[in-house]
Amino acid sequence: MRRAFLAAAILACLAMRGVAQGAEARNEWKPVRPRATAVLEALTTDDGEVATTTGGDTVSGAGGPPTLSVGMSKVFYMRNGDMFEGSVQAISDDGVVTLETSDGVLYIPAGQFLKETARVTKNTGTQYRGEILSEDAVGFALRTNYGEIVVSKTDIQSMSRYLGEKQIARREERRRFFQGDETLTHLFLDPTAFGLEERTFYVTGISLGFGFTNNFMLMSRMFDSVNGDINLGPQFTLLKRRRGSSEIAVAIGGRLYTTHDMRQEYSRYGHFIDYNGAKVDDLDRDDRMRDVEEHLVDASKRANEEVFGEVYSVMSWRGGLRDGRGKWGLHLGAKTNSLAWQERPALKAGSEWRSFKPYRVWLALDYDMSKRVKFLTEIFADNGWRWRNFETVVDDYFADDTPGVLDFTEGTYRPVDIDLGFLIAPTDTLRIGAHFQDPYITFYWKFAQF
């Protein structure tokens, strides 16, 4: 229990730090828009020079020259091929722009700036084309022919950028490092409220799934189905809200097995069987089901194949870090299964079930350490959880009579435990994770717009 309390304290500290950072990030996201009274057209002379405004704080162009104003912050492109990321601090009367970058302050004639435009297609199908006025870690401010708009990067399906009429020879990532390359649908063995996006295919060493809409996905443990236990796991998103760089979602879901070997579940909760007044909790033998089977009146597989189900609810939140370089998320969920209301099997004389209701409650955190690496940690309470070492898990997955299925039927009972690990994205579709609890190694592929 001391370990659990320590883990909870660590999670609480990380959560409070992240909330503070996320709040600041939300307050900071105010894409700069040029003031309506300060947006004046510059005139291009016959020799290509740009005439400047007398106000000294705005230079803009009709056609080729770009709009420049004090406070603009983005990547600026020069006619000689140079590229600078910074913000405009001042514009002198003679058209010299003071540009502050991370490496120092530059003084650049306004005529050296190239106009940058973008063609944006949002997830909804809406399309915009306009000049990029400002850009930050969360969104763009664009000037279109009909007014100025702000587009959140999380809403972008595709984007092309142009310098003049020439397209920039690079791909604008839909989610740059500030977003992280992955929005988790599961953290270790537990789901988050962020389901698969529409028409996204997902496959792991255990499960596969498909996002039918942005609010509904369907999963299945494929090896269980191959072994005759056909199952489906739907998840419905009840609430999804996005504000600035943060988003929150609430989902419900479950899993239904048609011909489930209930001996697995009876073994998982075998510590709730008493034999002549003594608690049965010795499931570390070579035969993982023997202890429970010794107490069942009929221990055959056929007699213990039944419909079995799980239901859960989960709430997830993600927000930007203070510097915009990454996000972090919190996930709180609870789960139970049909043993809470199903009739339990008859036991032999001298054995009896103690009263219990199956449950699992978890609090998890994910944190973007870099563009392709996430740190993950979770604390959970589960009255059917058993700790198993790596060798036992490998044997369970590969060497027993149900390959590809984790039976969870042996190990040391731990009602409260903690897990932590990392998730790496070596490619745009493959994810590989390692952590310190069953199943130790995870991997999956996710194909968007399958």
329: in domain: yes
Same domain, 142 and 230: no
Which residues of the chain carry a pLDDT beneath 70? 1-64, 137-138, 154, 164-165, 168-182, 244-245, 277-290, 322-325, 399-409, 448-450
Provide the residue range defining the domain that includes 64. Answer: 38-167
Q: Which of 144, 167, 190 is the last residue of a domain?
A: 167
- The H or E element that residue 390 is part of is helix 390-394
| Nearest to 385, CA basis, from 227, 217, 232, 268 | 268
Q: Which of 129, 149, 167 is the last residue of a domain?
A: 167
Report the half-sphere exposure of 75 (CA within 13 A, side-chain side). 13
C-alpha–C-alpha distance, residues 215 and 227, integer Å: 30
Same domain, 308 and 441: yes
Cβ-in-10-Å burial (0-12, 13-18, 19+) of 58 comes to: buried
C-alpha–C-alpha distance, residues 360 and 344, integer Å: 19
Q: Which of 143, 167, 191 is the last residue of a domain?
A: 167
DSSP state of 60: -
Same domain, 104 and 247: no
Same domain, 159 and 231: no
Same domain, 147 and 289: no
Same domain, 295 and 362: yes
Same domain, 134 and 77: yes
Residue 254 is predicted with a pLDDT of: 96
Same domain, 231 and 159: no
| Nearest to 301, CA basis, from 268, 271, 264 | 264
C-alpha–C-alpha distance, residues 338 and 254, integer Å: 11
- 37 three-class SS: helix
Residue 45 is predicted with a pLDDT of: 32
Residue 57 is predicted with a pLDDT of: 41
Neighbour tally for 246: CB within 10 Å: 20
CA distances to 15, 136, 331, 332 from 21, rounded to whole Å, are 10, 16, 17, 20
Same domain, 329 and 348: yes
Please give the tally of structural domains in the chain: 2
Per the document, the length of the chain is 450
